[in-house]
Structure 1
């Protein structure tokens, strides 16, 4: 039998930014190659605790101290060799530039992996034996590098006051703008508007040149303005093309620049300047639009306050939110933002949790009875827990911090949404592959068209002009932006609505679902049994039945017993007996106790077929079976030889669950299934009450996995559960959806999509948004491909560059504007 031990991952790999880092995989692989070690892996932790590193080993081969020394030694070797850098680069905040920068970094000596998101976030893993942080920065050719902590501190994001480099190497703090060595900056001297200003200047040059050409002045003067249009319109395009060509990329910018150069070679400076003006204007507006989508995501980080009022040593003092420590007591004034995750220790108020969970109604908060007795804060109810970035109401709250600012739910959401930008959806991967084939094909067609004068009766200049027009028409700018702009907007809007979508892949898969499998307990139901029926026998008062049941069950800790006690105490207004003693549990059947000298049995009907005494009366048996057929769990009460009656309990459906099912049908979900470990009759009754199509009960965890796999063979299916117990089933679904992920690290990690609030009504919003995103992606692709399909034959047939440019850039702006509509989506 193998033994197991768990070691703290931060001790083994102290500088690794997350448990998903490849260095963790290297450590696991290295240890698993050691004789005596069977398996090594990370166990996700909850409540902000470090992820433990679990090692399964043979104690006959290796001792525990030897295991620990070996793990620390291997971890130290890996940490010494591999470094990580996380930077923000302004120039990377555009899809095409991001791809170019990533390729450039991957080609640098010693770089193991590099990824650049459209938000300009650069992550680099490198081999220390071959390179270092300064050499990697040099590979960026002097771009604006701003170090960034890998685990995002939302207070840092909102103020930009603290910037630090995450990972294995810290070459020092850099103020914004440091690290430039003659490189170019797309924000320039006018900030974000520089590119737009250059584009406008290019347009003015073209307009003035055209105007002067009609005044009879020397042709050299309009020509000078056209050259100015080339300079201002091509300034950023030339730099982008230069960077792309250096890493072997031939993208749409290359085609545009070649077309403009061709126009100049033909002496048609006006058309070339007009082309670059419209192309640069399209780029500038695209940059603005994509920036707007990114700002929708970054606005999440600005929800947390910069400073907090903390009580230390009996005195209140204001400190930066990033300096709050676990255990601090924070005072939250009325209408102020809550600075960290924690629980309420004093005061009462209603808190607006919409910024984090998407809940539309403020949640009432009350203090816990004994703050010092709180063990696991995750076990506290929603009335006690608070989250960073939510907004306090009219009362003053005192709270105890349970997570640092960089570990809060809001911080994790911002981090994951930012990471999700870098994940390409299936459509994005398709368009990328298409571009890699399409652009060289276009260049080949242009080369052929350059020799059209050979078979045709036309001059070389005419053939050259036609070839340049085809270059403009065939440039797939709109295609390149069709999907990323929609995905970025969709992820941003989901985050604002309390739904975390982990990338374009889950977003697209969510939109094509045909079926949804629901875990029953805690998802479709409240997760706690409640008394629904009290049926006394003839001649027995309801109060007598309840008093006897409560008297016995208040000595039991079973969940069903707690439900009976709660209901009975409230119904009887506290008039409960306290006479039961000698409680005895009859496993799987019920309990036995002595009340007033008489034996009392409370339990299932099967109990009374086994114990001594009068048999169950037919009328009571029929009542019991009828309640069970309606999905009730039953508890029969017998005192001495007299049957007092039966109590029915059930896990009640969530408020509004049936309405959610109806909305999902309207969206287009064709099949909805309830899966549960409960008895099949209970599951059938619950499914019928909610209007579900199928119910599958008596399922063990492995059975749930098999059920989801069977559904997936028929159509795309989502599995929605709590993100922990249902993780295996969610992993086997097309999309795994976790409910109530706010405050739960495990739920955030396990699911493809996380509903931050414990609110099923966010599900139709998530599915509706994903379907709208897919519709917009399809619209964008049709517009992009349709424009190319129309313009290429048209330009071959003689359409001039001017109209081709207008139509081409118009389609590009259309797809970006169409994608931005997602930011206003409302279910």
Structure 2
């Protein structure tokens, strides 16, 4: 009984009427109960004739209850079905056929409705499995051949037709398309995708693959056909792993659920002892043994903790299903519950609060060159370098130019390790780098040096440009905050997150600068991964519970040591999927308030369900013991409370977060 495995979570899909057999049996039970009651009340037929519809009602109402009771008894468990069956047999033994039939009718109807309701939550999760394509069009020579997705190997090239489901995780080789990634990441707007630059490149890590070149199994292609190189076999695809993890999450119990199970462990034997003792009430109360037996049967129905046992699992299942639909993978009841209790969050900086790549933030001209003249030479020289800072200057510099009429030729380009780059542009020597680059050649004028240092104080990487013998400009670069970072942190404050901390390996100046821009409470810079772990442990002591939000790779140890580890962009990272308790499938920080709000709503519903289920037992049990309520009343309230808690839990499936519109 403690496990409450009486079918609440396992609908009976077989039977003469298919999936609806259990519900139809329950309705037939009620119909024959009504016929028997009318015959008994308004007819003058012999008792045997009246007994027939009641017996038929017993059959239809007790069929699935008996199946479950027999199965559980053979496994050494006496559960709710067994107790209900005993109560119905007891009623028949006392010639209370109508009440026994009513018990079985309402019990079977309650369970049939409960199964239908729980099935709705489960189907919301199982819809993920339907996304998984069954076949793929594999390129063989010049032709495309239909194969099962299980046959796809790494490196195979497949064709994805317009408006069809993507068959495997891969990179695009040919064709541009907009792909609907909502089934995996929860993103509402299709994402533009394009072919990868180097089709033969081998990627050591998922994180190396640009998002614009990557596709996931189960997503929906737009109006253009594309060719994709398979990078994961079907069993390892993001969708396949997501399905497995969601299914595993359903099995993981929350602290409240474990507490309820523990409570039932002691409660059930206590109920059985009470029922046994009530059979001997006739020894101390002026009544017959039959009346005492009837009282004990009524108490048995009243005390059965059916609603209590289903109250938490139904809410957890609905919560996990709603989260998955919103692009959040919650790995079980514990993180779902813990997330809602948090008042402190720790964030990684790079790639979580910031964009994860340098941006050209400042451009200062020094010697009268026009903006375009200055940038033409800078971009020309930086284009000869593969350094991430050089790429940022080229990318963002082009955006700042008014006209791009080709760039001059560069000769004798040379990178100077740790300092910068030099070369000849249009026959003129050009240098771009930090202050150290110029220390050997006469240094930097005090006024220019001051401007460089002012930018460095803001946490920026500064590059000074020298054309021939004149300093022509200053470039400031920085990993800038995500656009969503500041509004998301403001939403988190509104929903009661008191402390938001940033942990980063970058220097303290950079940390403080980013923190000031987005509204972080405290910023800790220059941290190694093990120092992040120490800081998390310290924060957990101060706050009792803390979540760590990161990209799941270098932040994995800190996540593992926090109350709840939350991974960003988990659809693109195996490590993130494995290490985190909660995974935001899209690389979107703005989903976080939705996840926290959903967790809090789930907690609220669990509490409501516990009060409803325990409240009904607390009222009904004394009422049946003292003879104020009969079996009929006990059954109505018992089954009513079970259906109420399930329907209450299903409200989570329709949850909308007013802060994030998710």
Corresponding position of 2:193: 365
Question: What residue number does 1:682 align with?
Answer: 510
1:630-641 matches, cutoff 5 A: 630-638=458-466
Q: Give 1:600 deviation, angstroms.
A: 5.8
**What secondary structure, in the 3-state scheme, does the structure 2 residue paired with 1:231 have?**
helix
Show the counterpart of 1:78: none
Partner of 1:825: 655
User: Hey, which of these two has a bigger chunk of helix by percent?
Assistant: 2
CA distance in 2, matches of 1:779, 1:307: 46
Residues 1:187 and 2:187 are matched in the alignment: no
SS in 1 for 2:162: coil
Find out whether 1:346 has 2:177 as its counterpart.
Answer: no
What are the residue-to-residue correspondences of 1:603-622 with 2, within 5 Å?
Answer: 603-605=433-435, 610-617=439-446, 619-622=447-450
Distance 1:794 1:683 in 2: 64
Shift of 1:202: 1.4
Cα separation, 2, equivalents of 1:600 and 1:317: 56
1:291 to 119, 122, 133: 119
The separation in 1 between residues aligned to 2:246 and 2:212, in whole angstroms, is: 27
Partner of 2:5: 96
1:585 counterpart residue number = 416
Is this contact kept in 2: 1:534–1:646, CA < 8 A? yes
The 8 Å contact of residues 6 and 80 in structure 2, kept in 1 or not, is answered as no
Paired residue for 1:805?
635
Q: 2:282 aligns to what SS in structure 1? A: coil
Q: Answer yes or no: is 1:734 the counterpart of 2:643.
A: no
Tell me, in whole angstroms, the C-alpha distance in 2 between the residues paired with 1:745 and 1:682: 29
Who is 1:672 aligned against?
500
Match of 1:202 in 2: 29
From 216, 236, 251, the counterpart of 1:387: 216
CA contact (8 A) 1:586 1:592 kept: no
SS at match of 1:742: helix
Specify whether residues 580 and 708 from structure 1 end up closer, same or farther in structure 2 by C-alpha distance, changes over 3 A only.
farther
Map of 1:498 onto structure 2: 327
Deviations 1:395-437 (A, max 9, x none): 2222222223232211111111112111111111111111111
Q: How do 1:222-371 and structure 2 match up within 5 A?
A: 222-371=50-199
Distance 2:548 2:493 in 1: 16
* Deviations 1:7-50, CA, capped at 9 Å, x for gaps: xxxxxxxxxxxxxxxxxxxxxxxxxxxxxxxxxxxxxxxxxxxx
Kept after mapping to 2: 8 A contact 1:553/1:561: yes
Deviation, structure 1 residue 472: 0.9
Q: Does structure 1 retain, via aligned residues, the 8 Å contact 2:315–2:605? A: yes
Which blocks of at least 5 consecutive residues in structure 1 are unaligned? 1-93, 100-117, 121-184
Per the TM alignment, residue 548 of structure 1 is displaced from its structure 2 partner at its CA by 5.4
Structure 1 segments, 4+ long, off by >6 Å, are 594-599
Larger CA deviation: 514-523 vs 632-641: 632-641
Contact 1:740-1:758 at 8 Å conserved across structures: yes
Count of residues in Structure 1 that have an aligned counterpart in Structure 2: 649
Contact 1:521/1:676 (<8 A) preserved: yes
Match of 2:660 in 1: none
Answer whether contact 1:569 1:576 (CA < 8 A) is retained: no
2:623 paired with 1:794? yes
Aligned counterparts of 2:415 and 2:74: Cα–Cα separation in 1: 81
Calculate the TM-score normalised by the size of structure 2.
Answer: 0.92
Cα separation, partners in 2 of 1:119 and 1:578, compared to 1, 3 Å:
farther
Contact kept? 2:136, 2:158, Cα under 8 Å: yes
Aligned counterparts of 1:538 and 1:596: Cα–Cα separation in 2: 18
Shift of 1:676: 0.9
CA distance 1:462–1:268, change in 2 (3 Å): same
Higher RCO (Cα < 8 Å, 6 or more apart): 2
List per-residue Cα deviations over 1:209-228 (Å, max 9, x = no partner): 10101212112222222222
The verdict on how the C-alpha distance between 1:320 and 1:615 changes in structure 2, with shifts beyond 3 A counting, is closer
Aligned match of 1:157: none
Tell me if 1:750 matches 2:579.
yes
Q: Distance in 2 between matches of 1:819 and 1:790?
A: 22
- In 2 relative to 1, CA 335–639 (structure 1 residues): closer, same or farther, beyond 3 Å? closer
8 Å contact from structure 1 (residues 676, 698) kept in 2: yes
- Relative to structure 1, the CA distance from residue 338 to residue 671 in structure 2 (aligned partners, 3 Å threshold; closer, same or farther) is same
Shift of 1:483: 0.8
The correspondence for 1:447, drawn from 276, 280, 286, is 276
Q: Which residue of 2 aligns with 1:20?
A: none
C-alpha distance in 2 between matches for 1:424 and 1:291: 19
Match of 1:725 in 2: 554
Change in CA separation of 1:448 and 1:386 when aligned onto 2, cut-off 3 Å: same
Instruction: Decide whether the 8 Å contact of 1:742 with 1:757 is kept in 2.
Output: yes
Q: 1:217 aligns with which of 45, 49, 52?
A: 45
Distance change >3 Å, CA 186–CA 264, structure 1 → 2: farther
Q: Secondary structure at the match of 2:523?
A: strand
Q: Kindly tell me: are residues 317 and 612 of structure 1, through their superposed partners in 2, closer, same or farther at Cα, counting changes over 3 Å?
A: closer
TM-score by length of 1: 0.74
Report how far residue 463 of structure 1 moved: 2.1
- Quote the offset at 1:308 in angstroms: 2.9
Deviation at 1:726, TM superposition (A): 0.7
Task: Find the aligned partners of 2:299 and 2:647 in 1 and give their Cα distance.
Answer: 25
